[in-house]
Structure 1
């Protein structure tokens, strides 16, 4: 391990643990979430580098701010739909950042410059998907228009997994593009950086749509006979044991988020690889 790697690891540990503790005090992370965020941040900065770490911070800070935006309105509108609140736990951190962290570690071990570029593109795709999905969820639930299931177009209740609204869709695109523009500013001199906004918009938006499809088809949803409401909770907040409504019991929102970020990373890496091939043919 080089001196630069050790320096980045220490900085990543200091920065991620500090942000994690601050988020814990603000009830944005649970204790497990702090541990997950610290591991994710340390590994990402240490193996990926400074731009990777700051892109991760952009996702976390923007998502945290939006999760606390008009939180009372969200609770009144869709509290029964969410299995977890605004305080993210270890599973949620792993679901949203696990793929990105794995790609950062792979980048630290890679020797080929082309491989490193593809891994960076995949990293941005995973992070763009997580950003797009979070922005869409946190803002879409406040839409004045009722959501429709992406798979059937049927009107559904706010907060239902798989439901989309014009506001949520715009938020998804904005979140994905914002991450790309931010990453471009961090990596102006890096080869291929000019593609970052396009890559994140494409992969992040596509990944968030995949998330909605999975949410509407395979994610476990339950029904509380006492309150006569759909929920993601096997045991409703009223204490009633809910009955399965659709999806698979093993596929909760965390699994869906992990699969969506994985798809987003593959889309971004594939798009970047294609752009490199086309650029070589034009020479």
Structure 2
């Protein structure tokens, strides 16, 4: 019921599309039901904080970078799966596991996946408002605001803050959880968000609008012109990049927890 209520409220506030509601309800129900209150509330923290930042100074973002992003602030099913799919699978594994050690590792993986999603969203939403031009993560050269693979100092700081905040929230909510969780969240979340930028700069599908002479993630630009492939792998869109980055954050967090317990 709580997942449905939050999904409907988010739809009314234009944070979720209709397909996004279905994904959010499935994700929230699985996480709450199999992970518990601390897992579910951490998921809500990610969604609420990310949605709030998405709407913060929305007009300024639209003026500078909206035509570059493949989708807007209203998340659809693909975005919900991309950001929360790995975390949901880990919650499922946690609920089905009867081994305390396995549950500890899956818990860390969950934190890493969700910290990455939080870091990536916070970094993007803050980074596009930076007064300084972003720099490509691969070369360090200045690039246009909103370009995949571009990073800024304010965006990177926001990424670190988002990852740490997610870990801290989970630690505060779950009595008896490890004191290392906020640090694991910070390291894995920041790593995952930077890995997202690296994929965006190297292999993500990027297109070119001949009418506006601009790069974009869209197959059809905001002006209505069909774009042509510029670089990257055709099927590797932003949703898949986000999915892979949350996976990388989960793996690193799992390895960190395993190393600390060895």
Q: Which residue of 2 aligns with 1:108?
A: 95
1:213 maps to 2:191: no
Q: How many residues align?
A: 262
Q: Which residue of 1 aligns with 2:56?
A: 69
- Runs (4+) of structure 1 moved beyond 3 Å? none
For structure 2, list consecutive stretches of 5 or more residues without a partner in the other structure: none
**TM-score normalised by structure 2 residue count:** 0.99
Q: Which residue of 2 aligns with 1:254?
A: 239
1:245 maps to 2:230: yes
Point out the structure with max Rg over C-alpha. Answer: 1
Separation of aligned partners in 1, 2:220 and 2:45 = 34
Q: Give the drift of 1:237.
A: 1.6
Match of 1:31 among 11, 18, 23: 18
Aligned-CA RMSD value: 0.6
Q: Give the drift of 1:55.
A: 0.5
Match of 1:94 among 76, 81, 95: 81
Q: Give the drift of 1:157.
A: 0.5
Q: Which residue of 2 aligns with 1:236?
A: 221
Q: Give the drift of 1:240.
A: 1.2
**TM-score normalised by structure 1 residue count:** 0.92
Q: Which residue of 2 aligns with 1:223?
A: 208
Separation of aligned partners in 2, 1:241 and 1:75 = 20
Please give the secondary structure, in 2, of the residue aligned with 1:222: strand
More divergent stretch after superposition (240-249 vs 163-172): 240-249
1:138 maps to 2:125: yes
Please give the secondary structure, in 1, of the residue aligned with 2:67: helix
Separation of aligned partners in 2, 1:188 and 1:40 = 23
More divergent stretch after superposition (180-189 vs 262-271): 180-189
Q: How does 1:2-41 map to 2 (within 5 A)?
A: 14-41=1-28
Q: Give the drift of 1:96.
A: 0.2
Q: Which residue of 1 aligns with 2:183?
A: 198
Q: Give the drift of 1:188.
A: 3.2
More divergent stretch after superposition (231-240 vs 88-97): 231-240
Separation of aligned partners in 1, 2:112 and 2:171 = 14
